[in-house]
Structure 1
Amino acid sequence: MGCDKGLLVAAALLALVVPGESITGGGEAVAHSRPYMASLQIPKNGKMTHECGGFLVADQWVMSAAHCFVSGTEGMNVVLGAHSLNDPEESKQTFNILQAYSHSDFSLSNYDNDIALVKLDRPIVASESVKLVKFQREGANDPDKDKEVNTAGWGSLNNLGSRPDKLQEVVIAVMDRVKCGRSDYYGKKFTDNMLCAAKTRADTCDGDSGGPLLFNDVVVGITSNGGKKCGSSKKPGLYTIISHYTQWIDRIMAQ
């Protein structure tokens, strides 16, 4: 799905019906205040178009969601240092993908193990607009129920599919695990590798997939999947818990 420092902006957008994952009920981020953000772009109608998010975890590695790569990586670019997707910002750095490594146990039926690592074709040039972000490792404490977390992305602003040009962010809260596993929420599709988070009419949406969920400035989750309506009270955003994958991450990044 598919938002720390930003203020939560009230959303007055009630939904109709496009499936997906985007920032709903948030607001524009301060330009380049999240220098780890990546835009994964694919060619569409003669131009590169934002498809998924990601975040920079090492000089040549971006973390994202496995479901962003089910169609492969042909023609896909990774853009770092962007605030506007369309403006020719000098801060932008564009990369080809050497290899995308999706978790071997990723399940398209319920999005379990929805984590991927992307090796860029060269190391980044660090700047004020392109920096690494810390991510949660095994043994650290993940956020509990009701803790505020935040995320960001260039995904849809509402269920009508309206997409922003500039990076959006939103503050949401971790929800009760028992509730998210109820049959009227996600049922058995909600696994131990996921957390769910949202607030009233505040959610991730289509195009935010692969982006970071942060708690105390550390990435604790990856925007994964949710309901067909962004901001639906019984289909909150789902996020892959990164701390469950420390050994896999270390093994892949050693390549």
Structure 2
Amino acid sequence: MAPVLILLAFLLPLGAHAEEIIGGHEVTPHSRPYMAFVRSLKEDGNRSRCGGFLVQDNFVLTAAHCWGSSLCSSMRVTLGAHNIKAHEQSQQIIRVAKAIPHPKYNSENKINDIMLLKLERKAKRSKAVKLLKFPRANARVRPGKKCHVPGWGVTSFNATKASDLLQEAELNIQVDYQCQKHFLHYSETTQICVGDPRKVQLAFKGDSGGPLVCDNRAYGVCARVNKDTTLDVVTKISSFLPWIRRNMKLP
């Protein structure tokens, strides 16, 4: 599944066992025109939902663990959406022709958790459908930098229903050591550690595959979360640019 964005404010005195949970804010409709809503059929027959983002007219980037089954015909991408339950005129629903997970993706530890989806036809660009740029080669974001993660995931830890409206959370880039302490197999070469213990905003269930956006560029793909530490791990896109370009056949 994929994540929407969770803001926790700890307003009770020390020792209390409750907290106030506030959902991530709804974005202005169609202000994140690169966003893709990815639906797929899992091997057990259940449907899964993830985020993704348009990187070429016929390619969406998402997380490898969002691949529901070996049948690409079961995967569909919705572009130009704000309310995924509404029949918005801006929406384009396109089947996936080919799913291309990274060949070294490890489903157990979520290493190399990145996947390209080749669409059956090109998307038509509009005000509601646009590409999201990649970072430059070897680009990195420094700890303390504020970035954003949009998605249609759940808005609280206990929620059983994900959001129909596109939400967004603001996340701070953390030093790698913070995630190395809490995530087995964390790799500073291929992953980025994000979160904010003071606010506790998280990309959670239903947001996987969505982008980590810094300065209007996609620096990461949402991969893992640890709600006990309010930290997210995202796949570092700059480490995979040669693989991405090769599979999209770009120079």
The structure carrying a bigger strand percent of its residues is: 2
Distance of 2:188 and 2:216 partners within structure 1: 25
Q: Which deviates more from structure 2 when the two are superposed, residues 173-182 or residues 115-124?
A: 173-182
1:83 to 1:69, Cα distance in 2 relative to 1, 3 A: same
1:235 positional shift? 5.0
Post-superposition CA distance 1:141-186 (Å, at most 9, x none): x11111101110001111113411100001110111112112xx11
Distance 1:13 1:124 in 2: 43
Task: Quote the Cα distance in structure 2 between the aligned partners of 1:224 and 1:147.
Answer: 19
Q: Deviations over 1:52-109 (max 9, x none)?
A: 0000001111000011015333422100000001111000000001101000000112
Partners in 2 of 1:34 and 1:50 — Cα distance? 22
Corresponding residue for residue 115 of structure 1: 114
CA contact (8 A) 2:171 2:195 kept: yes
2:212–2:219: 8 Å Cα contact kept in structure 1?
A: yes
Equivalent residue runs for 1:9-158 within 5 Å: 11=8, 25-42=23-40, 51-69=49-67, 71-72=69-70, 73-140=72-139, 142-158=140-156
Residue identity in the other structure for 2:37: S
- Structure 1 residues 203, 9: closer, same or farther in 2, change over 3 A? closer
Counterpart amino acid of residue 124 in structure 1? A
> Higher mean Cα deviation, 188-197 or 91-100?
188-197
Alpha carbons 1:138, 1:245 under 8 Å: kept: no
Unaligned runs of 5+ in 1: 15-23
Distance 1:144 1:43, change over 3 A: same
Contact 2:192 2:236 in 1 (8 A): yes
Residue 170 (str. 1) matches residue 169 (str. 2): yes
Q: CA RMSD in A?
A: 2.6
Offset at 1:136? Answer: 1.5
Q: Which residue in the other structure is 1:245 paired with?
A: 240
Structure 1 distance, partners of 2:10, 2:162, is 14
**1:204-230 Cα distance to aligned partner (Å, 9 max, x none):** 000101000011111100001122x3x
User: What is aligned with 2:231?
Assistant: 236
Runs (4+) of structure 1 moved beyond 3 Å?
8-14, 187-191
- The AA in structure 1 aligned to 2:248 is M
Higher relative contact order (CA 8 A, sep 6+): 1
1:187: how far off? 4.0
1:208-219 alignment runs, 5 A limit? 208-219=207-218
Cα contact 2:40–2:69 (8 A) shared by 1: no
Scaled by the length of structure 1, what TM-score is found? 0.84
Q: Is the Cα–Cα contact under 8 Å of residues 7 and 202 in structure 2 kept in the other structure?
A: no
Find the aligned partners of 1:151 and 1:201 in 2 and give their Cα distance. Answer: 13
Q: How many residue pairs align between the two structures?
A: 233
Distance 1:191 1:111, change over 3 A: farther
Q: TM-score under structure 2 normalisation?
A: 0.85
The answer (yes or no) to whether the contact 1:62–1:118 under 8 Å persists in 2 is yes
